[in-house]
Structure 1
Amino acid sequence: MSRTSTAPTELQAVIFDWAGTLVDFGSLAPTQIFVDAFKSFDMNISLKQARGPMGLSKWQHIRTLLDNPEIARQWKECHGQLPTDADVDALYARFMPMQIAKVGEYSQAIDGVQQTLAWLRQQGLKIGSCSGYPRQVLDVLLPLAAAEGITPDHVIAGDELPAGGRPGPYMALANMLALKISNVAACIKVDDTTPGIEEGINAGMWTVGISLSGNEVGCTKAELAQLSPEEIKALKALAEMRLREAGAHYVIDSVADLPAVVELIAERLKAGERP
Structure 2
Amino acid sequence: MPHAPAFTALLFGLRGCLVDFGGRCLDVVRDAPAQPTPGALEVLDWLRRHQVPCAWLDDVPAELGLHLSSPLPDWLRATPHGDAKPWPAPDACWQALMAIDANHLDGCVLISGEPRLLQAGLNAGLWTIGLAACGPLCGLSETEWQALDERQREHKRGKATLQLFSLGVHSVIDHLQELADCLADISQRRLKGEKP
Instruction: Calculate the TM-score normalised by the size of structure 2.
Output: 0.90
- Unaligned stretches of 5+ residues in structure 2: none
2:6 counterpart residue number: 10
Q: How does 1:1-275 map to 2 (within 5 A)?
A: 9-30=5-26, 33=27, 103-142=30-69, 144-146=70-72, 149=73, 151-152=75-76, 154-158=77-81, 160-161=82-83, 163-275=84-196
More helix by share: 1
Larger radius of gyration: 1
Deviations 1:79-138 (A, max 9, x none): xxxxxxxxxxxxxxxxxxxx8xx5251510111111111112233311121101111211
Quick check: 2:11–2:110 contact (8 Å CA) kept in 1? yes
For residue 166 of structure 1, report the CA deviation from its aligned partner: 0.9
C-alpha distance in 2, partners of 1:140/1:231?
32
Q: Does the 8 Å contact 2:8/2:105 carry over to 1?
A: no
Counterpart secondary structure, 1:130: strand
* Higher deviation after alignment, 229-238 or 117-126: 117-126
Map Cα deviations across residues 15-60 of structure 1 (whole Å, 9 max, x no partner).
Answer: 0000110001112252xx2xxxxxxxxxxxxxxxxxxxxxxxxxxx
Q: Distance in 2 between matches of 1:233 and 1:117?
A: 27
Give the distance between the partners of 1:129 and 1:157, measured in 2 at CA: 8
Q: Which amino acid aligns with 1:15?
A: L
RMSD over aligned CA atoms reads 1.8
Distance 1:182 1:113 in 2: 25
In the alignment, the residues of structure 2 paired with residue 112 and residue 254 of structure 1 have an alpha-carbon distance, to the nearest angstrom, of 8
2:111 and 2:129 in contact (8 A); partners too: yes
* Deviation readout 1:149-175 (Å, 9 max, x if unpaired): 3742x22212x12x4121111111011
% identity of equivalent residues? 23
Q: Is the 8 A contact 1:192 1:211 kept in 2?
A: yes
TM-score of the superposition, structure 1-length normalised?
A: 0.65
Residues 106 and 164 from structure 1, CA distance in 2 versus in 1: closer, same or farther, beyond 3 angstroms? farther
